[in-house]
Structure 1
Amino acid sequence: MEKHPHPGTDLRHGQRSDSEQEEWAGEYDPLADPQERRVLFAALDSFRQYRRVLHRNITHRRRQSFYSLPSSHWEKLAAPPFCMLDTLNKIDDAIDSNADIAEAILATGLAPMRLPLDPAPHDVRNWRNKATSEDISKANSTIRQFFRDWSAEGQHERDVSYGPVLRALRQRFGERPASGTKVLVPGAGLGRLVFDLSVAGYAAEGNEFSYHQLLASSWVLNHTRKPEEFALYPFALGFSNLKSRSQQLKQVMIPDVHPGSVVKQQSLLPESQRTMGSMSMTAADFLIQYTEPESKDAFDAVATVFFIDTAPNLIRYIETIHHCLKPGGLWVNVGPLLWHYEDRHNGNQSKSEGADTDDIEKLGIVEPGAVEFTEDEVLQLVRSMGFDIEKHDTEAGECGYIQDTESMLQNTYRPSHWVAVKT
């Protein structure tokens, strides 16, 4: 994936792009490349299919199973106090509410690229019916992630994950960083940390590879109209480890903070009183984009949050971060070591993985090979590659990841937190 700007997220002037077409303006057109077009179309179509597929897989099949019970059994469970059919109706309503978000993301993704809502079947721009079950699963995960990044109820997860970054930067650059202090956030996801950094006064640049995440972050940053505009049911699709149905049907409102309103409020202040920095996003392979000559010594800090374990080859990540940091620049890391490519060593490598060329430098994250490190080994590796570890916090706190705190099963991370300085 080549670099092109994220839709309409340059907030330094406190306004959106003048036209929707400008939102994806850049040196690279994803529709011109067949492979990029396929991936983008699959992401778009996954949001379109969300409503239909989730109703079919979550409630329709459960109704079929319900009516397969002996009649005396399902009749008992259909009546109070169980009311199982009423529960499935409520789950359907929750799916519809989440699908409203999915379709809003879709609409704002189609418009700037001038893709038709109902393309002709043989049109090269026909983006429909391209999503696989894996793509739809990614759409569902992306929608659930709004709980973590853009709801008031997700604040604890953000405090543990993003709080150490903001504190480390504040300690280094002060309460009001100098204008133009640049912070890079690889794996920026739905853009909340990038937004929070810009609010804190930094020139924050996010980088993201996933079209699902890019489309969703564009929507929440540029196209939501007010705080708490949409109802999200992050736990409605899970039927295990529940204490009550109210727990399963918990509703949260997103976004908890409306980015456009924050920017507008800043723009109304006298220039001397404005504290907000700028924000931008790039859609690119981190290992390719940020090893380019123009990225050398370009950033005052790099913040990696739940990111470094996405590396098949951590050495390449470290080399890239070292390349784009200024001498004396800060690298702040928070996150676990849930190595995403561990399946390569478990016999599950897909045919699409691996190199088709000898030019490894241009392959980025799809290069062959993978190795998983312990935390001790990660720190040794970082030190050996041009960094001093300034701080290593072994008690950074605990958090889940889109975790229902009422669930009978708690998956909890104890993230590694350390701060390194480029020597």
Structure 2
Amino acid sequence: MSFETHSADESEDANSWAGDFDPLGDPAERKVLFAAFDSFRLYRRTAHRNTTHRRRQAFYALPSAHWQMLAEPPFSILENFNKVDDAIDKNADIANAILSTGLSSFGIPALPDIENTRLMWHDYATSSDVNKAHSTIRQFYRDWSAEGKAEREACYTPVLQALEKEFPKRRDLEEDIRVLVPGAGLGRSVFEICRAGFAAEGNEISYHQLLASSWVLNHTSGPKHHELYPFALHFSNLLSREQQLRKVMIPDVHPGATMLAAQAIPEASFGAMSMSAADFVVLYNSPEQKDTFDAVATIFFIDTAPNLIRYIEAIRHCLKPNGIWINVGPLLWHFEAGQERSHHEDSDNGQNKGIGEPGSVELTEEEVFYLIECMGFKIEKRQSVEERAECGYIQDPDSMLQPLYRPSHWIARKRRDSDSPVVKTASEGTKTKR
């Protein structure tokens, strides 16, 4: 399992971030990486301050007789604050482990020397960066706990079934079946695709996600070795304090041990696994990536596009002719109403800026289907609304509030150029064939 900053390689721990592009050599990229480091460093402090410290202040602001009553059993509010603080510390241990392995991978000192009191990567994180660190830690519930299995199955099982149906004899082939997973997050979908015998390459632009996935895939010592309290920082819609302080153990399966076990079974076939750290649109539209992958699996991903046309261009470019694109996910457009843009938007070097280029548009599902067909794909399967399973996203199953998705699931096949109803390039626009 290796990580790289441009294209997949087989390097290990110390070189796991090696590649054609050095993020420490680019000032804008270095700033974003340092902000991610700093946000994990600040997890403990910010979680205590924003969760229990301010609640203690508000609690003691109640009339004295009131807070004293609520401090006693069966309420024991102050005792609960202490338990939440303990849970925060356990979550912060994970954040610190991610930080430590990330710094080590880049050869960056974790502690100041005698002459310096501040390290070069300190004081970069904004409140947005810290929020990303908090959500990343919580996401381990969905991707790497036994309790998150239901959410994973709703999204990953349709992809695995589609790959199995498309490539039933993959283990008899001399060449690997290559599957690209854009927006791979914490790497569980990539891991499961590899476990099914495919060569999977994950792609992720977020350093928060990349640092966390590198830790869980490459640096955890065994299954269920780390305590996580995914809902401890939330105080609303609770049935009980036990619900708030529910503990899960991560990872539910150990990636390294699982791979070793598979190697000992002749009929098992664990595929090669890699991750690329790059802007999906920029990297997979490059000439080196043309007609590279047998399949692309987008899982809760396409709605991260400010301009979906750019994503479709990249997917079509890197897919082999007749390759399949499998999608599962909603259309919660991330850039609606001018939300925060990618960190690449401020580097204008005249090249494709990928997700950071200006402009955005939100499409309906019907319009998405039409666009896909217009851009060189044939949709072969579309799941009806009635067929769709509901699922949450890092959702407490016992919460009084249950926001649920009914994710869209479809499979599209890349038409051969001779079969395509349109011929298009990013520079020339779209030309209808006559």
TM-score, with normalisation over the residues of structure 1?
A: 0.92
- Measured at CA, do residues 73 and 186 of structure 1 come closer, stay the same or move farther in structure 2, by a change above 3 Å? same
Partners of 1:251 and 1:224 in 2: how far apart?
18
Q: 1:322 aligns with which of 316, 323, 335?
A: 316
Give SS of 1:301's match.
strand
Q: Distance in 1 between matches of 2:323 and 2:301?
A: 19
1:398 maps to which of 378, 385, 390: 390
Counterpart position of 1:258:
254
Q: Structure 1 275/358 Cα, relative in aligned 2: closer, same or farther at 3 Å? A: closer
CA distance in 2, matches of 1:351, 1:197: 28
Of 141, 145, 150, which aligns to 1:151?
145
1:353 shift after superposition: 8.6
Q: Secondary structure in 2 aligned to 1:98?
A: helix
What is the aligned counterpart of 2:46 among 41, 44, 53?
53
Match of 1:245 in 2: 241
- Tell me which residue corresponds to 1:112: 105
Displacement of 1:246 after TM fit?
0.8
Distance in structure 1 (CA, Å) of the matches to 2:22 and 2:335: 29
Structure 2 residues without counterparts, runs of 5 or longer: 416-434
* Structure 2 match to 1:209: 205
Say whether 1:331 aligns with 2:325: yes
Aligned position for 1:37: 30
Distance change (3 Å), C-alpha of 1:137 and 1:311: same
Cα contact 2:144–2:251 (8 A) shared by 1: yes
Query: Is the 1:176–1:200 Cα contact (8 Å) retained in structure 2?
Result: no
Counterpart check, 1:88 vs 2:81: yes
What is the identity, as a one-letter code, of the residue corresponding to 1:374? T
Tell me how far 1:331 sits from its aligned partner.
Answer: 0.2
In 2, are the aligned partners of 1:91 and 1:236 still within 8 Å (CA)?
Answer: yes
Q: Distance in 2 between matches of 1:374 and 1:122?
A: 54
Task: Structure 1 unaligned segments of length 5 or more: list them.
Answer: 11-15
Secondary structure at the aligned position of 2:297 is classed as strand
Deviations 1:308-352 (A, max 9, x none): 0000110111011000000110100000000001122xxx67798
Is the alpha carbon distance of 1:89 and 1:355 closer, same or farther for their aligned partners in structure 2, counting shifts above 3 Å? closer
2:363: which partner in 1?
373
1:23 is aligned to 2:16: yes
Determine the structure 2 residue equivalent to 1:13: none
Check whether the contact 2:144–2:188 (CA below 8 A) recurs between aligned residues. yes
Contact 1:160/1:396 (<8 A) preserved: no
Q: In the alignment, is the contact (CA less than 8 A) between 1:5 and 1:25 conserved in 2?
A: no
- In 1, are the aligned partners of 2:342 and 2:356 still within 8 Å (CA)? no
What letter corresponds to residue 160 of structure 1 in structure 2? A
Aligned equivalent of 1:226, options 211, 222, 227: 222
CA 1:32–1:70 in 2, change beyond 3 Å: closer, same or farther?
same
Q: CA deviation at 1:299?
A: 0.2
The share of aligned pairs that are identical, in percent, is: 60
Q: Provide the alpha-carbon RMSD of the alignment.
A: 2.1
1:48 deviates by 0.8
2:60–2:67 CA contact under 8 A, matched in 1: yes
Q: CA deviation at 1:266?
A: 2.5
Matched, 1:235 2:231: yes
Give the direction of change, closer, same or farther, for the CA distance of 1:123–1:28 in structure 2 (3 Å limit): farther
Q: Provide the rounded CA distance (Å) in 2 between the counterparts of 1:23 and 1:355.
A: 27
| Relative contact order, higher structure (CA 8 A, sep 6+) | 1
- What's 2:185 paired with? 189
| 1:412 pairs with 2:414 | no
- 1:50 Cα deviation after fit: 0.5
**1:329 and 1:124, CA in 2 relative to 1: closer, same or farther beyond 3 A?**
farther
2:380 aligns to what SS in structure 1? strand
Task: Determine the C-alpha separation between the residues in 2 that align with 1:372 and 1:154.
Answer: 30
Give the drift of 1:268.
Answer: 3.3
Check the 8 A contact 1:3/1:289 in 2, yes or no.
Answer: no
Alpha-carbon deviations, 1:140-181, whole Å to 9, x = none?
000000000000111111111111100000111016543410
Q: Distance in 2 between matches of 1:224 and 1:301?
A: 29
Contact 1:101 1:143 in 2 (8 A): yes
> C-alpha distance in 1, partners of 2:378/2:326?
12
Q: CA deviation at 1:274?
A: 3.9
What one-letter code is carried by the residue in structure 1 that aligns with 2:267?
Q
The alignment covers a number of residue pairs equal to 407
Counterparts of 1:289 and 1:353 in 2: how far apart (Å)? 13
Q: TM-score, normalised by structure 2?
A: 0.90
Alpha-carbon separation, structure 2, partners of 1:98 and 1:124:
24
The amino acid of 2:363's aligned partner reads F
